[in-house]
Amino acid sequence: TEIKQEPEDQQRFHEQLQEKSSVEPKRYQEQRRPKKKYDLQNCPTMTIHVFVFLTGDAVPGIGIAEAPSKTFDLTENEKPPSLHSCSVCGKDFPYASKLQRHLRTHSGERPFPCSMCEKRFPEKGLLMIHERVHTGEKPFPCTFCEKRFASQGELRLHRRTHTGERPYHCSICLKSFSRHWHLKTHLEAMHSEVVAGFTRKKFPCSDCEKSCNSAAELRDHQRTHTGERPYQCSFCDKRFALSGTLVRHERLHTGITPYHCSDCGKTFAQQWTLTTHMRTHTGEKPYSCTQCDKSFVAPGELRRHTRIHTGEKPYTCTDCGRHFSLAGTLRNHKRTQSCAEVLGTLYV
C-alpha cells in the first residue's frame, strides 16, 4: 500500500534536494518534468531491458552495453582496454574487483560467513549489515521521525513513506513505484506478453529431476547423491555435507547461543528452537492432530502424540524386548530397574 503525502511535504523534500545538488535549479525542474509517452509495447530494446530486469540474466547473443561509448573514441565492436568482461553473460566492468563480485551472482559463492549464525554472504558489506540483526545496532536515523535503521537501504525505503518518492518506473506504461519488487510484480501481472517465455537460468541435477538456482546450490544438492561430506567438525570426528550444518553442530561443543528471545531473554543455538520457544509466549500451536482436536507448538510433539492413536511403539528395550512409544519412557525403564532383575523374578 502506497502512502500518499501532502504536496507541501513533497515540495519541501525537493527543495532540500536542490540545496544539496550541484545541478542548477532551472535544470533540476526540467529533469523533474514528466517525459513524453512513447509506444514501447513492441520495442525490441525494451523487451531486452525488461528481461534483464526480471531475470538478472543476459539475453543469449545480445550484449548488455551496445551503445557507442561517450568516453572513448571507439569503432564498432571495440572495447576500452581497461574493461573486464564477464565470461558468463558478457557484461563489462571497469575494475577487476567489481567483476569478481559480479561473478558470485553466477556461481552462488558466499565467502563471508556470519560468526553468530550459519548465514553466508557474497559481499563483506552485506555481512556487516546482517550482523546488526544480532547486535541490535541501528546507526541510521530518519530525519523525518524518530525511527532508526540497521542499513542505509532500509532507511532509504522508509524515507519514501514521508517523501512520496517513487523511483521505479515502468517504461511501458510509465507507472511509478516506491519499491523494486512492486515494479517487478506489476511487470509480470500487467505486461506478461512482453516478458513471456523468459525465465531465470536453472542448474539441473544430472542424477534427478531437481533444478537449482545457482551452481553453489547444485553442488550442495549433488552431495545427497554422492554422500560426500567435506566439512569436518574441529571438535569431534563427525563430518557434514553442508557448511551450515557444521556450524549448527559445533555450537553443541562451544555453547554459543546467538538467537535471543525478546520476551524472556533466553538464548538458543538454532533459529528453529527460538521459533518454537516463541510460541510459548504467543500461544500459537500450528501443528494439529487429524484424529482429535489437540494442537502442538512443534512437529515432534505432534508426532509423539499421534502414536497414542496409532499404537506405534518404535523404541525397544534390548534386554527384555518391551516396546515403548517414547524414547524418554525407554530411558526411565532402563534407569529404574534392570530387565535382568525383572526377568529373574519371573522364574523364582
CA-CA distance, 184 to 95, in Å (whole number)? 29
pLDDT at 337: 64
Model confidence pLDDT, tens digit, residues 194-234:
765 555 567 888 988 888 877 778 888 899 899 899 889 98
Model confidence pLDDT, tens digit, residues 23-48:
454 554 555 555 444 454 555 555 55
Report residue 142's pLDDT band, with 50, 70 and 90 as the boundaries. very high
pLDDT at 114: 87
Q: What average pLDDT does the structure give for the chain?
A: 75
Assess contact for 158 and 151: CB atoms under 8 A: no
CA-CA distance, 149 to 155, in Å (whole number)? 6
Compute the average pLDDT of residues 335-340: 67
Cell numbers representing residue 275 in the block: 521459533
- Is the CA virtual torsion 334, 340, 343, 344 positive or negative? negative
DSSP structure class, residue 36 = P
- Residue 209 falls in which region: left (phi positive, over 0), alpha (psi -120 to 50) or beta: alpha
Q: How many residues does the chain have?
A: 348
Asked whether the predicted pLDDT for residue 304 surpasses 50, the reply is yes
What 3-state DSSP class applies to 111?
coil
Q: Which of 317, 319, 285, 312 is nearest to 299 (CA)?
A: 285
Distances (CA, A) of 347 to 340, 341, 343: 11, 10, 7
- Is the CA virtual torsion 72, 76, 81, 85 positive or negative? positive
CA-CA distance, 58 to 303, in Å (whole number)? 47
Q: Which of 50, 34, 53 is nearest to 42 (CA)?
A: 50
Assess contact for 289 and 306: CB atoms under 8 A: yes
Specify the CATH number of the domain 11-16+37-60+81-195: 3.30.160.60
pLDDT at 49: 56
Assess contact for 249 and 233: CB atoms under 8 A: yes
Q: Kindly state the helix (H) or strand (E) to which residue 47 belongs, with its residue range.
A: helix 44-55
Distances (CA, A) of 97 to 56, 80, 129: 20, 17, 20
Q: What percentage of residues in the chain have a pLDDT greater than 90?
A: 5
pLDDT at 340: 58
What pTM value is reported for the model?
0.36
CA-CA distance, 134 to 116, in Å (whole number)? 7
CA-CA distance, 214 to 19, in Å (whole number)? 45
CA-CA distance, 256 to 155, in Å (whole number)? 31
Where exactly are the structural domains of the chain? 11-16+37-60+81-195
Q: Which of 7, 25, 2 is nearest to 15 (CA)?
A: 25
pLDDT at 58: 45
Report residue 252's pLDDT band, with 50, 70 and 90 as the boundaries. confident
Q: Which of 67, 36, 25 is nearest to 171 (CA)?
A: 36
Cell numbers representing residue 36 in the block: 513524453
CA-CA distance, 231 to 305, in Å (whole number)? 36
